[in-house]
Amino acid sequence: MEHLHAQTAAGHQGPPPPGPTPLFRPLSGALGAETDAIDLSRPLDAATIEAVRTAFREHHLLVIRNQSLDKERMYRFAELFGPIESHMIRLADGSKWDAVHTITNLDAAGNPVAKPFISSNYFWHTDKSFLAEPSLLTMLHAVELPPNGGDTQFADMTKAYDALPDATKRRIDGLKSVQSLEFMRRYTGSAPPTEDDIAAAPPIAHPLVRTHPETGRKSLYIGMYSSHIEGMPEEDGRALLEELLAHATQDRFLYTHTWQLGDLVFWDNRCLLHRAVANFEMGKHRRVLMRIVVKGTVPS
C-alpha cells in the first residue's frame, strides 16, 4: 500500500520545487544572456566566477549591466579568462594601444568625427583571426553613447554550421582558409599594413570549420580576414567564402546589441562573428567604449 501511494505521488508531481534563480537570462536573439546581479567594482567570489564561466560557455556572449569600470577593474575581470592580448594598432602619436584602450569616434580634440577611424570594424569579423593564436574573447564597456543606435551585431557560427546542408558540411570538412591582414585591409578599403605589420603577422591558414576547445561543437571560422581557400583556385575559394558568409549572417543567427550606458559585453571569438553597425550620426554624437581582449589558442 505504502509503495503504491509513493508511486501515485511520484506520477502526479506538481511543479518542481523552485531551484536557484539563474544568474543570467537569455537575450532576445540567436545567442547571448544578460544579468544585472553582478557588481564588478569588487572582486567576485568563486561561485560567481564559475557561474559566469558556465554561462559564457553556454551563451557565447554575456552582458553585465550597470557597471562603472576603470582600466584596472576591467583588466582584472578579463584576466579571469586567460592571458591578455597586446595590440598592433598604433595611435596618431605612434604609440601602441594599451591592453585596455578605447573604441571611439572622437578626434584628438575630443570632437565626434563622421568617418570611422577603424572602418573595418563595420565588416563581419572574428578578432585577430590572422594570427597563429587568434583572440579568445573581446570585452567592451559602454562609457559614452549616442542617443540612438551605435549598435554591435553578433552572428552565431555554431548555429550557422549546424544549419548547413550535409553535402556542404562534407564539402568544407578539412578545408583551410588563409587569413590575411593585407587582404582584409584591401577588402574593407582600409590603408595597407606596413611591412613591419606584415612581417609580424604573415598570412596563416586556419581550419574553415573549427572545433570549440571547451564545448567540442563545430563552427564556421570565416570573416573579413579570410582571403582564400588553401589548395583551391582563388575565384572558387572566394565564391565559397562569400556563400558561407551570406549563409552565416542571416537574421536567424544574429543578436543585435543595443547599448546601455554601463554595459559590459564580452563574447567568444572562437564561435561568433561581430561587426559595428553604422546606425548613428557619427559626426554629431559621441560613442566611447573601453575594450580589452583575451588571447586564444591555435584553432583546430
User: Shortest distance, CB of residue 201 to ligand SIN, whole angstroms?
Assistant: 17
> Mind spelling out the 3-state secondary structure of 57-94?
HHHCEEEECCCCCCHHHHHHHHCCCCCECCCCCECCCC
The 254-257 sheet, strands edge to edge: 254-257, 152-156, 272-276
Cβ neighbours of 123 (radius 10 Å): 18
Q: For residue 276, state whether it binds ligand SIN (rule: CB under 6 A).
A: yes
Cβ closest to ligand SIN, residue 44 vs residue 288? 288
Please enumerate in sequence order all residues whose Cβ is within 8 A of that of 229, keeping only pairs 6 or more positions apart, or say none. Answer: 175, 176, 177, 178, 208, 236, 237, 240, 241
In this structure, how many other beta carbons lie within 10 angstroms of the beta carbon of residue 1? 5
Name which of 124, 85, 300 is nearest 212 in CA terms: 300
Please check whether residue 155 is in contact with residue 253, taking contact to mean a CB–CB distance below 8 angstroms: yes
Spatial distance between the Cα atoms of 207 and 11, rounded to a whole number of angstroms: 50
**By rule CB under 6 A, what string of x and - marks binding of each residue 118-147 to ligand SIN?**
---x----------------x---------
Q: Provide the minimum distance between the beta carbon of 265 and ligand SIN in the complex, in angstroms, as a whole number.
A: 9
Distance CA 228, CA 234 (A): 6
Considering the complex, state which of residue 188 and residue 211 has its C-beta at the smaller distance from ligand SIN: 188
Closest separation between CB of residue 289 and ligand SIN, Å? 6
Nearer to ligand SIN, 23 or 67 (CB): 67
Q: How many residues bind ligand SIN (CB under 6 A)?
A: 7
Closer residue to ligand SIN (CB): 154 or 161: 154
| CA dist., res. 161 & res. 151, Å (int) | 25
Closest approach of ligand SIN to the CB of residue 72, in Å: 21
Q: Of the candidates 61, 78, 100, 103, which one interacts with ligand SIN according to CB under 6 A?
A: 103
Of 120 and 211, nearer to ligand SIN (C-beta) is: 120
Q: Least separation, in Å, of the C-beta of 171 and ligand SIN?
A: 30
Our CB check for ligand SIN shows the closer of 24 and 280 to be: 280
The footprint of ligand SIN on residues 148-207 (CB under 6 A) is: 152
Report if residue 74 touches ligand SIN, rule: CB under 6 A.
no
Binding site for ligand SIN (CB under 6 A): 103, 121, 138, 152, 274, 276, 289
